[in-house]
A = this chain, B = another copy of it.
Amino acid sequence: MPGQQGQERKRPVPERQSVTRKPTQLKSEVAAYKRRRIIEEASHLFFANGYEATTLDAVAEQLHVTKPFIYSYYRNKSELLSEICQTGIQLSLTALDEALAVDGTATEQLKMVVDRVARIIIENQRYISVYLREEKSLDPDDARRIRDLRHQFDSQVAALLTKGKEHGEFAFDDASRTAIWVGGVLSWIANWYHEGGRWSATEVVMDAISVVMKIVAKRA
């Protein structure tokens, strides 16, 4: 998970006089691991039961710890949600960037983008779903930060679409609006895919690629 800016916790590690800083480093690695585990369990419960309906006691129970344990790694409940939502788009955004880094025609790139992002969404469904469903529950500041990330995503897709149109590969009316439909196709996967359900991940990803390519293709 990239882009994990080390937010300060309640009890910051002092990092005082130790000449060898190895032990201190290990400690902070352990702390980071605990934070990840908290988020992991929280995301499962938020996904299954919703943010408001999930209690921190329930999250603690999943980890076989108690509520104050969580509070020594996160300030409050909404910080958990914020981190989950951010992970959600951050994952998608990173997948998008990676796909765009590979060069090729706009058509090839767009296929690559949908393929990679769709797979990431399926693999990390609970983060994405929670993000899509619980945006309203975010603190205003976090909501803004996360909307910005989302906006980056849409802008980059729109830029790719524009490039494809200029090269005569795609045809559509308005790039921003079309990018939003592409985003819709991807989001829909998170709402609808169910592991072990009627359709396989591969089928869903292939469908998504096919749908997106049809949306932007010349001569319908």
A28 interface contact, C-beta 8 A: no
A188 interface contact, C-beta 8 A: yes
Q: Which of B50, B132, B213 contacts A220 (CB 8 A)?
A: B213
Q: How far is the CA of A208 from the CA of B144 in the complex (A)?
A: 28
A180 interface contact, C-beta 8 A: yes
A191 interface contact, C-beta 8 A: yes
A17-41 contacts to B (CB < 8 Å)? none
Chain B residues with CB under 8 A of A49: 136
Q: How far is the CA of A188 from the CA of B189 in the complex (A)?
A: 11
**Proximity bits, A190-220, B CB within 8 Å = 1, else 0:** 0110000011000100010011011101001
Chain B residues with CB under 8 A of A192: 180, 184
Q: Which of B50, B51, B177, B188 contacts A181 (CB 8 A)?
A: B188
A53 interface contact, C-beta 8 A: yes
A66 interface contact, C-beta 8 A: no
Q: How far is the CB of A58 from chain B (nearest CB, A)?
A: 14
A155 interface contact, C-beta 8 A: no
Interface size class of A (residues with CB under 8 A): 20 to 34
Q: How far is the CB of A201 from chain B (nearest CB, A)?
A: 13
A52 interface contact, C-beta 8 A: yes
Contact at B177–A203, with CB atoms within 8 Å?
Answer: yes
Most chain B CB within a 10 A radius of its CB, from A53, A176, A191: A191
A137 interface contact, C-beta 8 A: yes
A100 interface contact, C-beta 8 A: no
Q: Which of B136, B185, B207 contacts A50 (CB 8 A)?
A: B136
A133 interface contact, C-beta 8 A: yes
A117-145 contacts to B (CB < 8 Å)? 132-134, 136-137
Chain B residues with CB under 8 A of A185: 181, 184
Chain B residues with CB under 8 A of A137: 50, 53
Query: Which A residues contact B (CB, under 8 angstroms)?
Result: 48-53, 132-134, 136-137, 173, 176-177, 180-181, 184-185, 187-188, 191-192, 198-199, 203, 207, 210-211, 213-215, 217, 220
**Selected A-B contacts with CB under 8 Å, 15 pairs:** A50-B52, A50-B134, A50-B136, A52-B53, A133-B133, A173-B207, A176-B198, A177-B199, A184-B185, A184-B191, A187-B188, A211-B215, A214-B214, A214-B215, A214-B217
